[in-house]
Amino acid sequence: MAESLKPGTLYVVATPIGNMADLSARARLCLASADVVACEDTRKTGALLARAGIKRQGRLLSYRDENEARQAPGLVAKLGQGQSVVLVSDAGTPAISDPGFRLVRLAAQSGIEVVAVPGPSALTALLSVCGLATDRFSFEGFLAPSGSKRHRAIEDMKGAGRTFILYESPRRIVRLLGELCELLDDPEVAVGRELTKMYEQVLRGRASEVAARLNNPRGEFAVAVYCEGREQTLGGQALEAEVKTLLGQGLSVRDVAVRLKPSGAPRREVYAAARTLGRR
């Protein structure tokens, strides 16, 4: 990489999720050289820079969920003036379940070059060590903390034929495993705790088995869930025709999805067919 950053360029920089040795030389150069470092928590990023031996020099700018929409235009203006901007999150890769996509999108729409400086991510870290099939996977991030929306999201994983990655808090991790056991027939899981940190741990097995091994859980958790595929007996034009028939009988889209669930029709495809037919 060149000795200095390109003027007017946005760098999306991954930072360690626990182990400082994971801070790449390229990430270090970006953090040391940028005109502006946009970060979730200026205190946490300031501490990261201090541990890396990088001077702050007043370059840190708060950029978090609460002010993202307000800060993004100002950062794009700075980029337009030729300043280099580095975007980081508290840990891991920005815009992956962290703030960032609004700034990236606005910068790209404004003709500004956006450069990825890849590195640590709990998502890819767990995928690499989970021991489950990862040729197909979906990242779900944090589910709704409770209620029917949370349960529907879990139910929609059933029969998908791929691995799902979830993030969860220590307060709800045991409950999540119980819900997976109940709603997904006790699937195979891998639970990563404190990945890359001193007390890193990966627990593998059925959801019920792993839940039984978690006593007084602490730290940050990522969960891989493998959902076996099922043969779909209803799809394509046949599914659309069946949805049309049931809607014509006065059923709601939700009721249609419930009615067709035993036939192997995924909820999302039922809703997609209903949208095609002008129903939501």
φ/ψ bin of 219: left (φ > 0), alpha (ψ from -120 to 50), beta (otherwise): left
Q: Minimal CA–CA distance to 90: which of 126, 154, 39?
A: 39
Check residue 232 and give its pLDDT.
Answer: 57
Predicted TM-score (pTM) of this structure = 0.80
Residue 180 near residue 190 (C-beta atoms within 8 A)? no
Q: What is the CA radius of gyration of the chain?
A: 22
**Around Cβ 177, how many Cβ atoms within 10 Å?**
29
* pLDDT of the residue at 128: 97
pLDDT for 1: 41
Per-residue pLDDT of the chain (280 residues; tens, 9 = 90+): 445 899 999 999 999 999 999 999 999 999 999 999 999 999 999 999 999 999 877 789 999 999 999 999 999 999 999 999 999 999 999 999 899 999 999 999 999 999 999 999 999 999 999 999 999 999 999 999 999 999 999 999 988 899 999 999 999 999 999 999 999 999 999 999 999 999 999 999 999 999 999 988 999 999 999 998 866 566 778 888 888 888 888 888 888 888 887 777 788 888 888 888 877 6
3-state secondary structure of 246: helix
Say what the pLDDT of residue 181 is: 96
Token code pair at residue 211: 């839940």
pLDDT at 212: 96
CA atoms 28, 32, 33, 39: torsion sign: positive
What was the pLDDT predicted at 233?
63
Cα 273 to Cα 44, 110, 250, 268: the distances in Å are: 46, 36, 16, 9
Is residue 97 within 8 A of residue 143, CB to CB? The reply is: no
